[in-house]
Structure 1
Amino acid sequence: MSAEAVLEKITALLGPHGCIVEAAARAPYEHGPRYGAGAALCVARPADIAEAAELMRLCAADRISIIPQGANTGLVGASSPDTSGRQLVLSMERIKGVIDIDPVDGVIQAWAGTRLSDLNQALEPHGLCFPIDLGADPSVGGMLAANTGGARLIRYGDVRHNTLGLQALLMQPPGELLELGNRLRKNNTGPDWKQLFIGTAGSYGIVTQAVLRAHPLPRQRATALVVPSSPEAALRLLQDAEREFADFLSAFEGMSQNALEAVLRHLPQAIAPFSPMPPYALLIELSSSASANEQFNLEQLFMSWLERHFDDAIVDAVVDKPDTLWRLRHAISDSVKQEGKVVAFDISVPRSRMPAFREEALALIARDFAGADVYDFGHWGDGGVHFNIAIAPAQQEHFPPPRIDALRTAIYDMVVHGYQGSFSAEHGIGPFNQHYYDRYQGQAQRQLAARMQPVFDPHYLLGNTRFG
């Protein structure tokens, strides 16, 4: 069947507002924020689940590949079409809205196209929140497809740990709606099938709605930017904070001198927290849903803890309003982009080996890739590192694509083989990481995935990630 005939069928099904064909209107859906730039056959925007299911049946019959897309904020190209012009982008942006909030059960049920900001806006009057903390504003479906983590994972876990149930459309049988789980916190009745749809980029089915755990809104927050006396001292502070504050510890982030100085250069309203800037700083946050009183005041407890560690593990510290300090942390990614060509790494290593990894990786860059500047930051609380590198314009001629590929491979080899870490801590696989998945994932696991994926999608029409 010709492309024109296919487009006529899709337009007849979805209507003129549900099928975007013009190149200029398609463009925002065809380009990811970091990687992924292609050309779609069209952008399909179903208005409800019935339209989405019928669209999948149409695509299955005509062997049309589908690229599911939420808010298009992913960083590995998983929601972008290739350059063939034959893939259909299935945008869930019209299937949105909060279905139900149950404050007693502590859950929120929402359609896949609902944004994270809209979830929290709906939950706030109930004294609740969905505590996935990101610089972007993803959709519910996108968060599940990528198993989003964020800066407060140390306390709340990732999306996988906060999903009680979901609904998904299958490609086999085409358009069948599958209900998995519900709002129960305890349900041990066999395999937890919903997990197959979390973190797999839509390759097993398209998430249409989810039941998510909500958490009490913090009533107290205490935040400080801390200069550790050494990398090893940072780990001692982490351990001691976990012992001292237990579940009140909600974030333990790290930021290098280069990363903070990039923010000061490119964020006009930013005020330098230290002068001069230290080699490394930790953003530590405590939070509680309990009201402050004379017996329990987090800020006073935090100040006392900080004072006890001065001249031992802490060299300097700034205590400020949480929003002020978090603004510095969340501005790093955009600031580093302005330093030059970014070579980004989303990696993780065991927490105990964070200092050793950082020291070895910095030495590797200085020795073998001079001219590349490291602007690293990340989540010491969970072992995640955004080991981002920027190549200034004056140095870019010395970094052709083969040398950048060599840089990536050198860092990933170190992470996976040297530190038993992950080449993708939060962002997923997608086309950008497919080569590294094939390189590092164990053969037995890939063989199992090769048998499983065709069960859900026998003609490999869903998504652009291959797990087998």
Structure 2
Amino acid sequence: MTDGVDALVHELENVLGDDAVITTPAATAAYLRERRGLFKGRCRAVVRPADTRAVSETVRRCAAAGVAIVPQGGNTGLCGGAAPDASGDQIVLSLERLRRIRAIDPLGHTLVAEAGCTLADVQAAAAGADRLFPLDYAAAGECCIGGNLATNAGGMNVLRYGNARELVLGLEVVLADGRVWNGLRALRKDNSGYDLKDLFVGSEGTLGIITAAVLRLHPRPRHRATALVALDTPSAALGLLAELRALTGDSLTAFELMGRTPVEFSLRHGAGCSDPFPQPWPWYVLLDVTSSRRHDDLRGMLEGTLPELPSLARDYRITDEDAGRDTLWALRNSIPAAQRHEGASIKHDVSVPLPAIPDFLARADAAARQRLPGIRPCAFGHVGDGNIHFNLSQPPQMAREDFLDRWDEFNRLIHDIVATLDGSFAAEHGVGQLKPAEVARLKSAEEVALMRAIKGALDPQGTLNPGKVVPAGDTGGHDRH
């Protein structure tokens, strides 16, 4: 295969130009390693097309040569979906040069962005038109909108605005043979056939390569208030969520649950973090309410509501000032980095139905501690939409490598609990090359067969991001019923 890949690389250099093709080890290194370091591969070249035509030409020539392509945006994924394998025979196709905002329609509340625009680019373009693109999470300055859509990214604001899928009206996609499907339509209603865009959103580049998208915008919030609430139990968090949704309607934008352990991690290691209350509490909720109305007293609404819920809100802090919000949100946003200072962690990005959250947290916590005394469950996440990051930090006296060697063991332990609650083992980070075996193990045989049929129909040669999402081999799913 190596000779064929070398010939293809020279061909792409001639067609696209030397500046579009990177081959030296020093230059390609940044494209080969997944963000957490769990996956690191090799490739013969990184190809960086400058427009959709060049992406199409690259894919067409790779398909003709039978060479596999690994699409990549900002390379901020957490499941190895954008990392090549170890063969060295794959081509990494980076979309980072597709950086144009093609159009903004404030009246229609839409924006057309190319796949290489960072999420922050898209947010800024929307803000420049006095509109909001609500997808948001910590990597906004690095991640690319093409990758956000390919993984159906979630983040902080799913409760009000939905996942990335709900923010897409149309797509432009390069298919496995190099043809371009132009589905850049800004229609809210179109029942003229299958909704093809939904095949590609969340497919992690295994069915086609997203090169541009029509994105749904929203009115820009004019008012925002933030509250940090101390709680006794996760059940109290669900009670508070129900009360606030009833009282605020769609003003409740974010609702983040944090256990005391991750808060302590942030207090020890997070910049600008301080303990918010005179005493520690087992659980905390960080919430945002926003409004685009010209006159709205959101702080007053929270100040009038939380004192009426003493059995749920044991203590609270409320602010509508930027500095105060940043201080409260620092506790939540510092958790992932702070956890790294506490040693190795085994991560679980799971979702369960909202009523099952307390049961899941209790069962998963007990099971992990029983399996390995001294382990430190670190639970936090977007509880408003049922997504919990149930991370496990190593016992302080345990060797890092010994702990990480038990990754599969603890994945199975936690994912099995999730499955009994009709949840998902891949809530917002995707499957990548980390979890295809769990797809085969935990999805039904019918689901796995449908996934393989779709993959076979749209990528019959298997050259688009092979080894990702869809389980390999003849293993089928199991009967969950």
Equivalents in 1 of 2:307, 2:464: separation in Å?
Answer: 55
Deviation at 1:356, TM superposition (A): 1.1
Question: What's 2:423 paired with?
Answer: 421
1:303 matched residue in structure 2: 303
AA aligned opposite 2:234: P
Q: What's the CA shift for 1:467?
A: 2.5
2:163 to 158, 161, 178: 158
Range with bigger deviation, 28-37 or 399-408:
399-408
Give the equivalent residue in structure 2 for 1:143: 148
- The alpha-carbon deviation at position 387 of structure 1 amounts to 0.4
Conservation of the 8 A alpha-carbon contact between 2:43 and 2:90: yes
Given candidates 438, 441, 457, the residue that maps to 1:439 is 441
Q: 5 Å matches for 1:189-228?
A: 189-228=192-231
Letter aligned with residue 172 of structure 2: Q
For 1:222 and 1:127, locate their aligned partners in 2 and report how far apart those are by CA, in whole Å: 20
Deviation at 1:127?
A: 1.4
Give the aligned residue type for 1:72.
Answer: N
Aligned amino acid, residue 157 of structure 1: G
Superimposed CA distance per residue, residues 23-42 of structure 1 (whole angstroms, 9 cap, x where no aligned partner): 11111110111232111111
Please name the residue that 2:476 is paired with.
none
Match of 1:8 in 2: 10
Instruction: Please name the residue that 1:359 is paired with.
Output: 362
Q: Which runs of 5+ in 2 are unaligned?
A: 472-481
Instruction: From 127, 137, 147, give the equivalent of 1:124.
Output: 127
Distance of 1:163 and 1:435 partners within structure 2? 29
Select the residue among 28, 37, 40 that pairs with 2:40: 37
1:397 to partner: Cα distance? 6.2
Distance 1:337 1:77 in 2: 18
Tell me which residue corresponds to 1:97: 100
SS in structure 2 at match of 1:17: helix
Q: Name 1:318's counterpart in structure 2.
A: 317
The one-letter amino acid of 2:387's match is G
Match of 1:243 in 2: 246
When structure 1 is superposed on structure 2, of 254-263 and 364-373 the one drifting more is 364-373
Shift of 1:378: 0.5
Q: Secondary structure at the match of 2:18?
A: coil
Q: Is the 8 A contact 1:146 1:200 kept in 2?
A: yes
* Aligned twin of 1:28: 30
Shift of 1:274: 2.0
Q: CA deviation at 1:181?
A: 5.1
Shift in Å at residue 276 of structure 1? 3.1
How far did residue 466 of structure 1 move? Answer: 4.6
Partner of 2:474: none
Q: Which of 82, 92, 96 in structure 2 is aligned with 1:79? A: 82
Per-residue CA deviation, residues 63-110 of structure 1 (Å, 9 max, x unaligned), is: 110000011111110000011111110000011120000000000101
Q: Find the aligned partners of 1:401 and 1:331 in 2 and give their Cα distance.
A: 22
1:443 partner amino acid: A
- The residue type paired with residue 94 of structure 2 is S
Q: String of CA shifts for 1:347-401, please: whole Å, max 9, x gaps.
A: 0011001111111111111111113211110111111000011115631268355
Q: How many residues align?
A: 461
For residue 268 of structure 1, give the secondary structure of its aligned residue in structure 2: coil
Q: CA deviation at 1:144?
A: 0.8
Q: CA deviation at 1:284?
A: 1.5
Q: Distance in 2 between matches of 1:400 and 1:343?
A: 8
Match of 2:433, SS state, is: helix
Q: Provide the C-alpha distance between the structure 2 equivalents of 1:3 and 1:457, rounded to a whole number of angstroms.
A: 19
Match of 2:478 in 1: none
Gaps of 5+ in 1: none
Residue 261 and residue 401 in structure 1: after superposition, are their counterparts in 2 closer, same or farther (change >3 A)? closer
Residue 52 of structure 1 pairs with residue 55 of structure 2: yes
1:369/1:407 contact within 8 Å kept: no
What is the rounded CA distance, in whole Å, between the counterparts of 2:216 and 2:275 in structure 1?
Answer: 37
**CA gap 1:273/1:401 in 2 versus in 1, 3 angstroms:** closer
- Deviation, 1:190, is 1.6
Residues 84 and 154 of structure 1: CA distance in aligned 2, closer, same or farther (over 3 Å)? same
Percent identity between the aligned chains?
Answer: 36
Query: 1:231 and 2:234 equivalent?
Result: yes
| Candidates 59, 65, 70, aligned match of 1:67 | 70
d(CA) in 2 for partners of 1:13, 1:401: 45
User: Which amino acid is 1:59 matched to?
Assistant: C
Match of 1:457 among 441, 454, 459: 459
User: How many Å separate the matches in 1 of 2:191 and 2:45?
Assistant: 42
Kindly provide the amino acid, as one letter, of the partner of residue 142 in structure 1: G
Match of 1:368 in 2: 371
The answer to which of 384-393 and 64-73 deviates more is 384-393
Shift of 1:402: 5.0
What are the superposed Cα offsets for residues 275-333 of structure 1, whole Å, 9 maximum, x if unpaired? 332111001111101123xxx311101110011112x2111111233222122211111
Q: State how far apart, in whole Å, the 1-side matches of 2:4 and 2:396 are.
A: 45
Mean CA deviation greater in 270-279 or 19-28:
270-279
CA contact (8 A) 1:372 1:390 kept: yes
* 8 A contact 1:379–1:385 mirrored in 2: yes
State the one-letter code of the partner of 1:445: E
Q: SS at 1:319's partner residue?
A: strand
**TM-score when scaled to structure 2?**
0.93
Deviation at 1:48, TM superposition (A): 1.3
Residues in 2 aligned to 1:31 and 1:275: alpha-carbon distance in whole angstroms: 43
* 1:448 partnered with 2:450: yes
Please give the TM-score of this superposition, normalised by the length of structure 1: 0.96
Q: Is the 8 A contact 2:231 2:282 kept in 1?
A: no
